Amino acid sequence: MRVFVIGDEDTVVGFRFAGVAGTVVEGREEALRALNEAMERQDAVVIIPEPVANTIREEISRIRYYEALPLIVEVPGRQGPLGEAPPLFRLIRESVGIKF
């Protein structure tokens, strides 16, 4: 199972310390390109900070609802969470389709 991170430099470098490969992006077009590449490689999990995810929200929603992989996990950005974090069970249900 391959895990990949797409985000700002701080996020990508932080995950590299944990052994996770990633791509630094600046802007919507770079984020879309990195996400498409992750899908082509069939990465199992893609980690994206909230500010980057918001720039490609439509594509993320499409992937979550219509594609088996990758599982997209949004994490807070450098400034912290953008809003109230959704409950874990709701995230699992939306991402995987399993109800608890």
- Stated pTM of the model: 0.79
Q: Residue 81 is encoded by which pair of tokens?
A: 């969470």
> Taking the domains of the chain in order of start, what are their residue ranges?
3-96
Task: Indicate the helix (H) or strand (E) that contains 74.
Answer: strand 71-75
- Name the residue among 53, 100, 45 with its Cα closest to residue 76: 53
Calculate what percentage of the chain has a pLDDT beyond 70. Answer: 79
Contacts 24+ apart (CB under 8 A), 95-98: 95/64, 95/71, 96/71
| Of 10 and 79, the one with more pLDDT | 10
| Confidence category of residue 55, pLDDT binned at 50, 70, 90 | very high
Of the CA atoms within 13 Å of residue 25, those in its CB half-sphere come to: 25
| Of 5 and 83, the one with more pLDDT | 5
How confident is the model at residue 80, as a pLDDT? 64
CATH fourth-level superfamily of 3-96: ATPase, V1 complex, subunit F (3.40.50.10580)
Kindly calculate the radius of gyration of the chain based on its CA atoms and give it in whole angstroms. Answer: 13
Tens of pLDDT along 2-14? 999 999 999 999 9
* N- to C-terminal Cα separation, the chain: 24
How confident is the model at residue 77, as a pLDDT? 80
